[in-house]
Amino acid sequence: MAALNASNTTYLIKFHGAGSMSRFIVQDGEDMMNVLKKNDFTGIESIKVFDPVKGRFKRYKRANILKHYNWNTEVYLYLKDHYYFK
């Protein structure tokens, strides 16, 4: 994973459970897809988007996340078929 870019959309993926591997911050569609493939054992609690104006992560509609990646066919097809986005 590369360093975070302040001009890109930043997502916080939170899985159920309190372990150290239950929260991930990603910006790239491939990174989101890999995190979901490798770490989704207990279910997704939430996927939030960073709001740079307020300086915190906020809830975001699942459909908007899909729209954000509609240009990347591989990521879009994976996310569209993932249980969290159905």
The DSSP secondary structure of 16-40, one letter per residue, reads SS-STTSEEEE-SHHHHHHHHHHH-
Provide the 10 A C-beta neighbour count for residue 12: 17
Residue 17 in this model has a pLDDT that exceeds 90: no
Closest CA to 13 of 2, 3, 5, 38: 38
Domain annotation covers residue 2 = no
What is the rounded average pLDDT for all residues in the chain?
89
**64 phi/psi in degrees, rounded to 5:** -70, -35
Number of domains comprising the chain: 1
At residue 24, the pLDDT reads 94
Domain annotation covers residue 52 = yes
Domain annotation covers residue 38 = yes
Question: Residues 32-85: pLDDT tens digits?
Answer: 999 999 988 889 999 999 998 899 999 999 999 999 998 889 999 999 999 999
Provide the 10 A C-beta neighbour count for residue 58: 10
**13 phi/psi in degrees, rounded to 5:** -100, 120
At residue 6, the pLDDT reads 66
At residue 86, the pLDDT reads 86
Domain annotation covers residue 66 = yes
Domain annotation covers residue 5 = no
At residue 27, the pLDDT reads 92
At residue 21, the pLDDT reads 77
